[in-house]
Amino acid sequence: MARLRRTITLVLGGARSGKSHYAQELAARFPRAIFVATARAVDAEMRRKIARHRQERPSNWKTIEAPVRLSGTIRSESRHADVLVIDCFTLYVSNAMRLSRNAEADNHKAIRELCDAIRASSASIIAVSNEVGSGIVPAFRSARVYRDLLGRLNQEVAAIADNVVLMVAGLPVHIKRSGRVMRRPA
């Protein structure tokens, strides 16, 4: 099998839009894949979802749990894989916000560190995240801070990504492909 070019791909979409399935399909082309999980099994529903996701992944993929130390995990694990699938930024931001007392400064620093780790990765990166900018403005401050941080992270990663895909009803809509923003003809 020919070595695939190293790329950064961001897969965005709403809940149950097919993001994880699409990311796994992309990663299946690589010989050595590591799945980086950011979810925490905090309740029965989440435990069932994690178990289902594990069953859907190829058995030869290594799984690393990184609910908060994502930058370090990318730096250490990228040496051992051809691709890292990060699923997902949505839960990572939630987990990181719970740890931080100086939320704005700490979380902006974490976004910079995460982007630096992604850029430095020797493996391809396929990152999954929810697109949260299309909904209503949340009534509570903490939810607005969360939405803004995830939106910022999505923007920062999209800026350095080679490919950005928006999943809609299980269908991929390419927003950016090979570093070129997809535009309608004039």
Q: What is the pLDDT of residues 43-91, one digit of tens each?
A: 998 889 888 888 888 989 999 999 989 999 999 999 999 999 999 999 9
Domain annotation covers residue 22: yes
Domain annotation covers residue 179: no
- CATH value at residue 70: 3.40.50.300
Question: 62 lies in which domain range?
Answer: 8-174
Domain annotation covers residue 152: yes
Total number of domains constituting the chain: 1
Q: Is the pLDDT of residue 1 over 50?
A: no
53 is a catalytic site residue: yes
Q: Is the pLDDT of residue 42 over 90?
A: no
Please tell me which residue in 21, 53, 108, 174 is annotated as part of the active site: 53
Domain annotation covers residue 58: yes
Domain annotation covers residue 119: yes
What average pLDDT score do residues 161-171 get? 96
Domain annotation covers residue 183: no
User: Tens of pLDDT along 109-133?
Assistant: 888 999 999 999 999 999 999 998 8
Per-residue tokens: 56: 């859907």
Domain annotation covers residue 18: yes
Domain annotation covers residue 103: yes
CA distances from 124 to 6, 135, 148 (A): 5, 31, 26
Amino acid at 135: G
